[in-house]
Amino acid sequence: MTVSVHLFGPIASAAGTPLCTIALETDRSPAAVLRRLGEICPAIQPLLSGCRLAVNSRFASPDTVISNQDELAVIGLVSGG
């Protein structure tokens, strides 16, 4: 299954793109998405440890199962205010 993941802020800058497409195998968890992103884009690997995955604009729980209809976004350290 192929999914696209939105990137923002410093992570998008490090990746050089605001949108990253990855392939998921049997493990379709948020942790698998973050792990796969780090594999295909080593530049953002060090930044991913403190990140959470948003699925359809909500923070995902660890047991969420991703489908290819979902909108995914990596929410790294935010800094508004």
Does the protein bind another protein through residue 80 (CB under 8 A)?
yes
Is 54 a binder of another protein (CB under 8 A)?
yes
6 binding another protein? (CB under 8 A): yes
- Residue 47 DSSP label: G
Report whether 42 contacts 16 (CB < 8 A).
no
Rule CB under 8 A: which of 23-52 touch another protein? none
Task: Give the Cβ contact number of residue 75 at 10 Å.
Answer: 17
Q: Is 17 in the site for another protein (CB under 8 A)?
A: no
DSSP string covering 7-21: --HHHHHHHT-SEEE
For the bound state, the minimum distance from the C-beta of residue 32 to another protein, rounded and expressed in Å, comes to 21
Give yes or no for a contact between 32 and 48, defined as CB atoms under 8 angstroms apart: no
Binding site for another protein (CB under 8 A): 6, 8-10, 13, 54, 57-59, 73, 75-76, 78-81
